[in-house]
Structure 1
Amino acid sequence: MSQFDLKGRKALVTGGARGLGAGMAQALAEAGAAVMIGDLLEEQGRETARAIKATGGQAAFVHLDVSDEAHWLAAVSATHAAFGGFDILINNAGIEVTALVTEIDPDALRRMLDVNIVGTALGMKHAFRAMRPGGLAGQGGVVVNVSSVASTIAFPAIAGYSATKSAVDRLTRVGAMEAGKLGYGVRVNCIYPGLVPTDMGMKLASDVVSAGLFESPDAAVLAIVEQTPLGRLGTVSDMADAVVFLCSDASRFITGAGLPVDGGMGM
Structure 2
Amino acid sequence: MAGRVAGKVALVTGGASGIGRGVVEKLAEEGAFVVVTDIQDALGEEVAAGVRKAGGKAEYRSHDVTDEDAWIDVIGGVKARHGRLDILVNNAGIGIGGPILEMKLSDWRRQTAINLDGVFLGVKHGIPLMRESGDGGSIVNISSVAGLKGSPSLAGYCATKGGVRLFTKAVALECANAKDGIRVNSVHPGLIETPIWLTVGDAINPGANAPPDLDAMSTLAVPLGVKGFPADIANGVLWLSSDEARYVTGLELVIDGGMMLR
Where on the TM-score scale, by shorter chain, does this alignment land: which range? over 0.9
* Unaligned segments of structure 2, at least 5 residues: none
- Give the alignment's Cα RMSD to 1 decimal: 1.9
Q: Deviation per CA, 1:167-193: give whole Å up to 9, x if none.
A: 000111000000010122100001001
Q: Which residue of the partner structure matches residue 51 of structure 2? A: 52
Q: Deviation per CA, 1:126-160: give whole Å up to 9, x if none.
A: 1111111xx3x343200000000111233221110
Identity %, equivalent residues: 38
Structure 1 residue 79: Cα displacement: 1.9
Q: Which residue of the partner structure matches residue 175 of structure 2? A: 179
Question: What pairs up with 1:68-217 in 2 under 5 angstroms?
Answer: 68-132=67-131, 135=132, 137-210=133-206, 217=211
TM-score with structure 1 setting the length: 0.92
Would you say 1:253 and 2:247 are equivalent positions?
yes
* Unaligned segments of structure 1, at least 5 residues: none
| Equivalent residues of 1:189, 1:255 under 8 A apart | yes
Would you say 1:263 and 2:257 are equivalent positions?
yes
Q: Distance in 1 between matches of 2:91 and 2:210?
A: 28
Q: Deviation per CA, 1:37-71: give whole Å up to 9, x if none.
A: 01111111111100000000000011111111111
Letter in structure 1 aligned against 2:29 = E
Structure 1 residue 218: Cα displacement: 4.7
Structure 1 residue 217: Cα displacement: 4.7
Q: Distance in 1 between matches of 2:61 and 2:257?
A: 33
| Equivalent residues of 1:189, 1:258 under 8 A apart | yes
Cα 1:127/1:215, change in 2 over 3 Å: closer
Structure 1 residue 216: Cα displacement: 7.0
| Equivalent residues of 1:3, 1:250 under 8 A apart | no
Q: Distance in 2 between matches of 1:63 and 1:184?
A: 29
Aligned residues: 261
Q: Distance in 2 between matches of 1:104 and 1:27?
A: 36
Letter in structure 1 aligned against 2:233 = M
Structure 1 residue 249: Cα displacement: 1.3
TM-score with structure 2 setting the length: 0.94
